[in-house]
Amino acid sequence: MEDRAALLLAYDDELRTDAEVRGAEEVERLGPLLVARFAGGRGFVSYRDLGDASAERIRDLVAEIARRFAADERIVEAEWKTRGHDRAPGLHEALLAAGFVPEEPESIMVGEAARLVADVELPPGVVVRPVVEEREVRAASAVQDEVFGAPVSEVRADELLRKLASGDGTEEWIAEVDGRIVSAGRIEPVPGTRFAGIWGGATRAEWRGRGIYRALTSARARSALVQGKTLINSDSTEFSRPILERSGLVKVSTTTPYVWRR
């Protein structure tokens, strides 16, 4: 699986469409699109690819999706997740015209889970462990929100708690010092695939560069292997991408979320 093209094909074939909308309260198909609504009022659009759709066809699809989200008062925020390697003429312009706002692009990282496993020397007093108790899970979610510059969201914490309670292998991990969480992230095995995703890896600025994110990633990769998952994927910021690259993961593409808010 060293070849970038093979890793990208595995990502597209195993992780897009159905895998991305598992756990949704509602899913419907519109042409090549899967349109989902998750708990907490979150909409989501996914697809394996857009085929040979023209710019006009894509514009019509985007306009229809925007109309549906606007008409469904349960949806307060929705994401159309784009990928840099897709053939999608006019998609950027169509999304802007429909009121979607692009967020920062991230690198899609894919590679062998075993490559992430390492013995990392941590700073004195730092402990890496999973959390399951509600108070700790909410605290970890809040740290992730704060590090990423977002308002602390009870909705995201509620969604994380539901995932942890579902029994699908999702785990939330933290690094803490004297009871204070300094880094947090989760692992999500994807049923029916070789993959587990590592998400939300966030380390407080004053604790970066000390091996904590690397240790947190290693712990999650070990857990993935125990659960029978051999491949890891991650949408990475420029803080985490170099660390994952040094561990042997490959940047196969980019992803940019376009977000619509009521």
Residue 245 tokens, joined: 């690259």
Phi first, then psi: what are they for 18, rounded to 5°?
-55, -40
Nearest to 235 by CA among 103, 64, 45: 103
| Per-residue pLDDT tens digits for 120-171 | 999 999 999 999 999 999 999 999 999 988 889 898 899 899 999 999 999 9
What distances in angstroms separate CA 70 from CA 65, 77, 93, 260, one per listed residue? 9, 10, 19, 9
Identify whether the C-beta of residue 255 lies closer than 8 Å to the C-beta of residue 84: yes
Please check whether residues 66 and 138 belong to one and the same domain.
no
Strands 26-30 and 180-189: unpaired
pTM of the shown model: 0.90
Expressed as residue numbers, the domain containing 80 is 15-107
Q: Is residue 232 a part of any domain in this protein?
A: yes
Residue-wise DSSP of 180-204? EEEEEEEEEE-TTSSEEEEEEEEE-
Q: Is residue 4 a part of any domain in this protein?
A: no
CATH number, domain at 145? 3.40.630.30
pLDDT value of position 2 = 58
Indicate the residue among 107, 129, 151 that finishes a domain.
Answer: 107
Tell me the pLDDT band of 172, cut-offs 50, 70 and 90. Answer: very high
Q: Could you tell me what percent of the chain has a pLDDT over 70?
A: 99
pLDDT value of position 232 = 97
30 forms bridges with which residues in the sheet?
A: 33
| Per-residue pLDDT tens digits for 19-48 | 899 889 999 999 999 999 998 899 999 999
